[in-house]
Amino acid sequence: MYDSVIIVLVNYPKIFDIKCKLDKCGVYPTVTDTERGEIVCGGCGLVLLQKLEDTSHDGTSFTQEEYMTQTRTGPAMSLSMYDMGLSTNIGYNTDSTGHSLSSKTKATFDRLRIWDQRSKSKSSTRNLTMAFTVLAGIKTKLGVPEHVNQQAAYIYRKVIAAKLTRGRSIRSLILACLYVACRETNTPRTLDDIAKAGNVERKLLSRDLRTIIKVLDLNLKQYDNTSFITRLSNDLEIKEKTKRDAFEILQKSQDKRISDGKNPVAQATACLYLSCLINNEKFSQRRFSVISGISSVTIRNRVAAMRKLLKLKH
């Protein structure tokens, strides 16, 4: 029907530049077949380019059926899993078509399952499994973001590489790693919050934290006090104007170096309490103490110092 034309498949700089060289096909657009990975002419059906790379991404799946039909590559790798999500799963004694395997093949796969299970029974694997189980529970209790969870898992793997797990509690070490991750990502979680959520003594947690910082040579920055003001104001449901005034009081105290060497949570609580007094929001020091975990005496001392140095009338 058409004159025979020999087309050499070359690497084009852009797929939009590919056109059929028949004159009669100039008015027809090219058709991209994503399933076959081919670009064909819309007029004569000639294959212009083949073996295209699949650049599409997986869609979000909300049901098991969508996951099985839409997912191509499986779940993403995760440092918070003992095998990073690359586990081995040897299925049942059937082939891909659903037919039963022969007795000899079944024996081979049974043996493979035994060795697969034995390979997962190493002490390091058990250690990671126990630690990341604890980490997943604490993440839910404290509402820690996923990137902080991944950072904590990464630090714990470095702890294992440095052989710091001998003679130490796995729960205490993983909680200390979580606190380090919170400090590095400026996620407002105090050592008391993590110790209480993880049911670990603060003294033991502090000791393991100092060991990790020393051995891994970490340089942790202080928390940004504004993040604690935001957290406390959200817990107490304080007005936006009061929160902004607390930011201004905190900035003035930092400019005059009043907050140097002070507990960041106590300083943020005192600034927020002063802002509530200025804006006539009635919250007792006792309520601030319960929400923040800072004693009423400390809040009272911080408030008195800022009133004197900043010359506040309230």
**Do 74 and 60 contact (CB within 8 A), yes or no?**
no
pLDDT at 6 over 60: no
Specify the pLDDT at position 172.
93
311's tokens: 């010359």
Q: How far apart are CA 132 and CA 181, in angstroms?
A: 14
244-302 pLDDT, tens digit per residue, is: 888 888 888 878 777 777 778 888 888 888 888 888 888 888 888 888 888 888 888 88
Residue 58 · residue 71 · CB < 8 Å: yes
Strongest mean pLDDT among 115-124, 149-158, 268-277: 149-158
Q: Is the pLDDT of residue 10 over 70?
A: no
- 115 neighbors 90 (Cβ within 8 angstroms): no
Question: Lowest-pLDDT range, 28-37, 86-95, 158-167?
Answer: 86-95
Instruction: Quote the percentage of the chain above a pLDDT of 90.
Output: 16
Segment 168-184 mean pLDDT: 92
pLDDT band at 55 (very low <50, low <70, confident <90, very high): low
C-alpha 118: how far from chain center: 31
Confidence band for 173, pLDDT divided at 50, 70 and 90: very high
DSSP codes, 224-239: PHHHHHHHHHHHHT--
DSSP-derived secondary structure for 11-53 = --S-GGG-----GGGTTSPEEEETTTTEEEETTT--EEE-S--
Q: Which residue has the higher pLDDT, 38 or 157?
A: 157
Angstrom distance (rounded) from CA 180 to CA 265: 17
pLDDT > 70 fraction of the chain, expressed in percent and rounded: 85
Q: Give me the domains of the chain, ranges plus CATH numbers.
A: 1-54 (2.20.25), 123-215 (1.10.472.10), 225-310 (1.10.472.10)
Residues 16-42, mean pLDDT to the nearest whole number: 78
CA–CA separation, 20 vs 5, rounded Å?
10
pLDDT band at 11 (very low <50, low <70, confident <90, very high): very low
Taking residues 15-37, what's their average pLDDT?
A: 75
* pLDDT score of 95: 74
Between CA 58 and CA 134 the distance in angstroms is: 30
CB under 8 Å, gap of 24 or more: what pairs does 40-49 form? 44/2, 44/20, 46/5, 46/7, 46/20, 46/22, 48/7, 48/9, 48/18, 48/19, 48/20, 49/9, 49/12, 49/15, 49/18
Q: What is the mean pLDDT of the chain?
A: 80
Q: What is the mean pLDDT of residues 238-244?
A: 86
CB atoms within 10 A of CB 107: 12
